[in-house]
Amino acid sequence: MAGEVRQPIDLPSLERYLNQNVPVVKTPLDLKQFGFGQSNPTYQITTADGRKLVLRKKPPGKLLSKTAHRVDREYQVIRALGNTDVPVPEALCLCEDSSVIGTPFYIMEFLDGRHFIDPAMPGVSPAERNALWKSAVETLAKFHAVVPKSVGLENFGKHSGFYDRQIATFTTVSKAQSQVLDQDTKEPVGELPHFKDMVQFFAQKSTQPRDRGTLVHGDYKIDNVIFHKTEPRVIGILDWEMATVGHPLSDFCNLTSPYVLEGTEHSKEDFQTGRIPGLPSREDCVRWYTAVSGYNPADDILWGDAFFAFRGSVIMQGIAARSAARQASSARAGEYAKRAKPFALEAWGRVKRVQELSKQKGKLYPLDVVKTRVQLQSGTAAGGGEHYNGMLDCFRKIIKQEGFSRLYRGISAPILMEAPKRATKFAANDSWGTFYRGLFGVEKQTQSLAVLTGATAGATESFVVVPFELVKIRLQDKASAGKYNGMLDVVKKIVQQEGPLAMYNGLESTLWRHILWNAGYFGCIFQVRAQLPKPEPGNKGQQTRNDLIAGTIGGIAGTLLNTPMDVVKSRIQNTTKVAGQTPKYNWAWPALGTVMKEEGFGALYKGFIPKVLRLGPGGGVLLVVFTGMMDFFRKMHFEQSV
């Protein structure tokens, strides 16, 4: 709300300027100052004929940042968007003559609507809260869909390298802000915690989202939009000073930050779906945004959240610096200034989480994505759609067209699957080995029993694997972009649209895939170990060498045997079940025949190279780890027995 004027301006001079240049604004004027507006002083003007307007001006004094107070850019973008379906106030005039009221300013229409400071929107019904949030999300998506050239903003900013520019800008700005001395205590504002480490992380190209160039607001959030008084729709977007051409992820993470960030007035522990009636989930916001804009931010959102917190800490450090220099425009500047360092610590925590997740992803998972893409394509390029000419071409096209992060799409499912899958594999192999030796009356394992035991262990393992594999395949497919917002959303949609039993779609082909791989793997391990020099007692190096060789050869053999079934499994699991319709790829062996008939025998080995590069060495490492763990537990058991 507008109230007492804390930073006076020369009202007679302003009235003279308006009389001469903007006669539609009737004088004399009544002036009040808004409590919001952290960087640019913002005033409410009431004209002689009762019309309400808003004046935004640069703050007085020497400015720390050349980019944070661009009222001329605010005016430019508001005026440019006036003829689009993006709701903005009418821009009336821009004055860059500092002699009028001390600094440049512009005047725009005052929007008489609802302004929510709290994104939880207290005081509205659950249904309206949901509709208001949806309008805010869809309005952002509509804005991002505006082509800069179509509204005369082709030179509004560079169309690539947004995050690199942001990093450079915030580094320079933060350094200057940290050196500002408090006018009373003479103490510097100080550097943000872990600032240099965060800059180093965000500058890494391998972790950055795929580069994009759209119009971005720079500070899009619920308290920067005005809603209609009685209808659940946005009638105007405010505070455009940081608008530019950049990555849409930055605006989306800014808007939805209350769902994930701690330590801010907008981030409440209970800011979650179900605790606030009608509040949409963040997944709902992703879905609404993707449907309008065509860009799905889900893959990049963890990185975007971390960068948002980093950026926010620099902005709050700027408020602290202006407060120290007595240039702050908001009545609450001191309160915001105290949040700079806690926000930086929040940013650092998010960076560490992204780094940890990157470690968990590992270096081999992209090979699985490439394998799936190659296996899912049928026919040739002439058949339409994307076509990959082998592993390297697939890598190149995914990175170029979809971004590096797409190589890790669906990683959550295999991460969660890995422990129970491996535990089941080896536990079942040991149990079935004991069973078969008793059944056939033999004391030691034989080559044929090793194959039989491995095959049965593979069948057992399949029942654990199928749901995770199904989710992973759906997420890895290029066609899934915009369809699913993460692992849980895949599960929910499959159960709702195809039924609970659909989670075991492809069970038969998965059984055959795991029977064949495990038969080859354990069968080869038995044979290769017998051919290798026996390790000396207690020599861990020789044992590791033998396990690595045997496991790698076993992994290669298993991959040779099971790749045809892996191809048809991918096709079957990527097919949505529709009631009353029989899918093209349904049962394993008929699907195998269909692929061979339509695409040739070679098609049964699509994706073999990335698969064997992953599972060959992976089989060796798996056996080394298993042997090491078993030795550890045997030692513990022996020590406890003694």
- Shared domain check, 370 and 356: no
User: Token digits for 601?
Assistant: 């025998």
pLDDT attached to residue 314: 92
Does a structural domain hold residue 116? no
Task: Output 365 or 291, whichever has higher pLDDT.
Answer: 291
**CA-CA distance, 528 to 613, in Å (whole number)?**
20
pLDDT attached to residue 381: 41
Q: With bands split at pLDDT 50, 70 and 90, how would you rate the model's confidence at 353?
A: confident
| Range in 386-390, 424-428, 525-529, 530-534 the model is least confident about | 386-390
Instruction: Return the DSSP state at 34.
Output: E
Number of domains the chain is built from: 3
pLDDT in tens, 214-268: 999 999 999 999 999 999 999 999 989 889 999 999 999 999 998 887 544 444 4
For residues 429-439, give the mean pLDDT. Answer: 86
- The distance between the two most distant Cα atoms of the chain, rounded to a whole number of Å, is 108
CB count, 10 Å around CB of 82? 13
pLDDT in tens, 585-627: 888 889 899 889 888 898 889 888 888 888 888 888 888 877 7
Last residue of a domain, one of 82, 110, 138: 110
For residues 120-134, give the mean pLDDT. Answer: 95
Does a structural domain hold residue 262? yes
Give the highest mean pLDDT range of 122-131, 366-375, 400-409, 519-528. 122-131
Task: Output 388 or 457, whichever has higher pLDDT.
Answer: 457
pLDDT attached to residue 517: 86
Question: Is the predicted pLDDT of residue 370 greater than 70, yes or no?
Answer: no
- Shared domain check, 273 and 399: no
Q: With bands split at pLDDT 50, 70 and 90, how would you rate the model's confidence at 572?
A: confident
Cis ω for the linkage preceding 258 (within 30 of 0): no
Does a structural domain hold residue 550? yes
Domain around 610: 366-377+384-640
Task: Output 20 or 366, whichever has higher pLDDT.
Answer: 20
Last residue of a domain, one of 53, 77, 110: 110
Question: What CATH number did the domain enclosing 64 receive?
Answer: 3.30.200.20
Contacts of 436 (CB under 8 A, 6+ apart): 449, 452, 453, 456
Task: Output 322 or 395, whichever has higher pLDDT.
Answer: 322
- Shared domain check, 283 and 166: yes
- Shared domain check, 452 and 398: yes
Does a structural domain hold residue 120? no
Question: Is the predicted pLDDT of residue 13 greater than 70, yes or no?
Answer: yes
**Phi then psi for 246, rounded to 5 degrees?**
-165, -155
Does a structural domain hold residue 119? no
pLDDT in tens, 62-100: 665 565 678 999 999 999 999 899 999 999 999 999 999
The closest alpha carbon to 408, from 465, 462, 368, belongs to: 368
Q: With bands split at pLDDT 50, 70 and 90, how would you rate the model's confidence at 434?
A: confident
- Shared domain check, 370 and 354: no
- Shared domain check, 209 and 101: no
- Shared domain check, 359 and 372: no
For the chain, percent of residues with pLDDT exceeding 70: 81
Does a structural domain hold residue 133? yes
- Shared domain check, 18 and 131: no
Q: How far is the CA of 591 from the CAs of 498, 581, 582, 598, 604, in angstroms?
A: 21, 16, 12, 11, 10
Task: Output 274 or 143, whichever has higher pLDDT.
Answer: 143
HEC-encoded secondary structure of 221-288: CHHHEEECCCCCCEEEECCCCCCEEECHHHHHHHHCHHHCCCCCCCCCCCCCECCECCCCCHHHHHHH
For residue 215, what are the β-bridge partners?
245
Question: Is the predicted pLDDT of residue 631 greater than 80, yes or no?
Answer: no
Mean pLDDT of the chain: 83
- Shared domain check, 273 and 249: yes
For residues 274-290, give the mean pLDDT. Answer: 87
- Shared domain check, 373 and 356: no
Question: What CATH number did the domain enclosing 461 receive?
Answer: 1.50.40.10
For residues 397-406, give the mean pLDDT. Answer: 70
Last residue of a domain, one of 303, 333, 363: 363
Question: Is the predicted pLDDT of residue 197 greater than 70, yes or no?
Answer: yes
Does a structural domain hold residue 347? yes
| Angle between helix 487-498 and 412-440 (nearest 10) | 70
**CA-CA distance, 337 to 316, in Å (whole number)?**
6
pLDDT in tens, 310-349: 998 998 888 888 878 776 555 555 666 677 888 888 889 8
Q: With bands split at pLDDT 50, 70 and 90, how would you rate the model's confidence at 485?
A: low
Question: What CATH number did the domain enclosing 318 receive?
Answer: 3.90.1200.10
Does a structural domain hold residue 194? yes
- Shared domain check, 436 and 558: yes
- Shared domain check, 316 and 176: yes
Residue pair 27/10 in contact (Cβ under 8 Å)? The answer is: no
